Amino acid sequence: HEDADLIVIDKPAGMVVHPAPGSPSGTLVNALLHHCGDSLSGIGGARRPGIVHRIDKDTSGLLVVAKTTRAHHALAEQFAAHTVHRHYLAVAHGRPDAADPRLRGVPGVAFEPGGTLRIATGLDRHRTDRQRQAVTFTGGRAAVTRARVVQGFGEPAAACLLECWLETGRTHQIRVHLAHAGHGLIGDPVYGGQRKLGPRAVGPAAAAAAAAFPRQALHAATLGFTHPVTGQSMHFAAPMPADLAALVAVLRGGA
């Protein structure tokens, strides 16, 4: 979607949002500058024009970008007030269950009515690896993630498709929070650990597909906000990209 004030993009996995050391070109910002010219909001500076929020390089899905200063301010206020609706699809190890006694002992993890998993912690830079985020309960920035199981795969509770939604939007939030709860994302090279799906649990084809999945299995599927100029309620949905849809399909087949 594009209008005079903003543009909504379905970012492919593998594309960096803005230039940084090691990624000077081929970024979303480079593409936006080519497409929009000088019309992007300049609030983010030369390296981040129009960028109100971001998703990780290897996460696919929806982003809104401001084309005017007015739109940038108004969208930033909505993100700060946590009124932007963002839902993600994720494929995770295990299957969160309110009856699981292990989860009852994990700090910051609780279940709400209807079986919704709620994870509330602080997030801060990892003490020894500055490229990573870490859960903290002393300081850091408050972060709240909710998730519900869409479908389970394999037995016993080998993996699942989750719908996740953010109350806050911190760096790597879903990935860190699900790993903290013991349900790290399949394919996540930073927070997923060495965990693998067993062929007996999900079938040989599904186990092989999960082991070979080259990125964190995370997709920003829906995005909703109020148009910063017209006041219209805006809602967008992006289907799972081919790689993630293929992973889910083979897991379903093995289940």
Of 56, 58, 188, 243, which one is the catalytic site residue?
56
d(CA 207, CA 200): 9
56 is catalytic: yes
| 143 class by beta-carbon count within 10 Å (0-12 exposed, 13-18 middle, 19+ buried) | buried
Q: Is the dihedral of CA 140, 52, 91, 112 positive or negative?
A: positive
Find the helix packing angle between 242-254 and 204-212, rounded to 10°.
150
d(CA 5, CA 65): 9
Q: For residue 85, what are the β-bridge partners? A: 224
Q: Which two structure tokens, joined as six digits, stand for 69?
A: 């200063």
3-state secondary structure of 6: strand
Active site residues: 56
